[in-house]
Amino acid sequence: MRELSLHVLDLAQNSLTANASRLDILIAVDHKADTLSITLRDDGKGMAPEFLKNVTSPFTTTRTTRKVGLGIPMFKVNAELTGGSFDIESKVGVGTRMTAVFILSSIDRPPLGDMPATMVSLIVSNPKFHFHLEYTVDDQEPFAFDTEEIQAVLGPVPLDAPEVVSWIEGYIREGMDALHGGA
């Protein structure tokens, strides 16, 4: 995939398919360490140990409509192509956590892409799901966005209402940009 945000969009679907009720998306940029890490953590049904052992193979999938699953393998390969790493843990009945670490300065690192638009896509297509985004740059206070917190303020107004969607995208964009000096 050309952008890491598209990986997040694709991998979030795994959490939804796994009957998760919450997905934490943690993104950390560390210029001193020259890394960008993306962690996805859900409370879905988790994976059995034998399935987990092979989950980074493109020929391992839970889908019945096709025999390949490229989301996790591509995420892993893209991280490793930069000289970074990939780790995944899962426990049946508890959930799954995967982390990809990309070397920031690597010419092979895809750009982060449009995370605000990715979050909006996830929220609009799953307005009752609990999404938590945390974005950190170096030692700055992280920017956090949480659909449960927003819904508590909105009351009966749905997250997928057009005016709310527009606000969410702007809010996430401003929060992330602020950590880069408003860039």
Taking only the tens place, the pLDDT of each residue in 78-100 is 999 999 999 999 999 999 999 99
Where in the chain are the domains?
4-178
The CATH class given to the 4-178 domain equals alpha beta
Amino acid 79: pLDDT: 96
Query: Which has more confidence, 165 or 67?
Result: 165
More confident site: 180 or 60: 180
Query: In the chain, helix, strand, coil percent, each to 5?
Result: 35, 25, 40
- Residue 45 reports pLDDT greater than 80: yes
- Smallest Cα–Cα separation from 61: which of 108, 106, 10, 22? 10
Do residues 39 and 26 lie in contact, with contact meaning Cβ atoms separated by under 8 Å?
yes
For residues 124 and 27, give the distance between their C-alpha atoms in angstroms, rounded to a whole number: 21
pLDDT in tens, 111-163: 999 999 999 999 999 999 999 999 999 999 999 999 999 999 999 999 999 99
Give Cα 43 to chain centroid, integer Å.
Answer: 14
Confidence of residue 53 (pLDDT cuts 50, 70, 90): confident
The pTM for the full model equals: 0.91
- Look over the chain and give the mean of its residue pLDDT values, rounded to a whole number: 91
